[in-house]
Structure 1
Amino acid sequence: MIHPAMRAYQNVAGYSLTDRQADATCFRLLIEELETAAASSDPSVRLKALTKNQRLWSMIMKANSLDSGATNYEDRELFVRLASQAQRYGIRAILDTNLSLAPLIGIAETVLEGLESSAGPEQGFDTDAML
């Protein structure tokens, strides 16, 4: 007899995201939000998207600034540099409402492509299946 807690864990484990899948999902959501903001004339939609952009890149910078030994130095340095560029441009875009969001979308798409290409064969994870 399997304990009910173990059965529940096994059911949920089938829907768990790997770290790479979770990162890719974050970037997909960011891209979607930035594209929506770029197409909108509502300043609050733009500010909300730019705020999320700043938060995500801030977390990435913090995670890669700390030496946990999980990622090699060159990769961490690259992510810190990307985070710095994305945050600086994001600040400029917050201050200048006429500034295009295309560079931020481009950076996020490049990172997403890298996450998806180095992940190998996908298991077809579907976030809708969780709901």
Structure 2
Amino acid sequence: MIHPALRAYQTVTESALTGREAESICFRMLIDELEAASQSSDLHVRNRALNRHQRLWSMIMRANIPDNGLAVEEDRKLFVRMADQAQKYGIRAILDSGLSLMPLIEIAENVLAGLETVSGGIE
């Protein structure tokens, strides 16, 4: 079974979107899900959003650990460091259901802003 976020990502990448546009859409979806989870009292909704958050950052980390020549070393280190910090806070949020999801939302919004700046904005 393919994870819904991965299926959405594959669907998006099969269209005429650039990689940055697809990444932007993934982060928009993550932000929407985290915001919905932060407003919900349903622990299942929160855990599902946190699980997807962890998986997305795990994919980002895996993609940036090896030097494949697609990103400069400084950028790769930044991506891995951001993924590490986001995942650490995500783990804390999984273990403490009272912990705010706002830091995770803010990280995702900052990444989205950076992606849109680089790609010239996406509607």
User: Is the TM value for this pair above 0.5?
Assistant: yes
Match of 1:46 in 2: 46
Larger-gyration structure (1/2):
1
Point out where structure 2 has 5 or more consecutive residues left out of the alignment.
1-14
Runs of 4+ in 1 over 3 A off after TM superposition: none
Match of 1:7 in 2: none
Q: Go from structure 1 to structure 2 and tell me whether the alpha carbon gap of 1:41 and 1:116 turns closer, same or farther (over 3 Å shift).
A: same
The one-letter amino acid paired with 2:110 is: T
Q: Go from structure 1 to structure 2 and tell me whether the alpha carbon gap of 1:60 and 1:121 turns closer, same or farther (over 3 Å shift).
A: closer
Q: Go from structure 1 to structure 2 and tell me whether the alpha carbon gap of 1:90 and 1:18 turns closer, same or farther (over 3 Å shift).
A: same
Q: What is the 5 A alignment of 1:110-121?
A: 110-120=110-120
Point out where structure 1 has 5 or more consecutive residues left out of the alignment.
1-14, 125-131
Q: TM-score, normalised by structure 2?
A: 0.86
Aligned residues: 109
Match of 1:93 in 2: 93
The sequence identity of aligned pairs, in percent, is: 61
Q: Go from structure 1 to structure 2 and tell me whether the alpha carbon gap of 1:41 and 1:76 turns closer, same or farther (over 3 Å shift).
A: same
Cα deviations by residue, 1:1-56 (Å, 9 ceiling, x for unpaired)? xxxxxxxxxxxxxx411000000000000000000000000000000000000000
Q: Go from structure 1 to structure 2 and tell me whether the alpha carbon gap of 1:103 and 1:79 turns closer, same or farther (over 3 Å shift).
A: same
- Which SS does the other structure have where 1:81 is aligned? helix
CA RMSD of aligned residues (A): 1.0
Q: What is the 5 A alignment of 1:68-87?
A: 68-87=68-87
The one-letter amino acid paired with 2:102 is: A
Give 1:120 deviation, angstroms. 1.9
- Which SS does the other structure have where 2:61 is aligned? helix
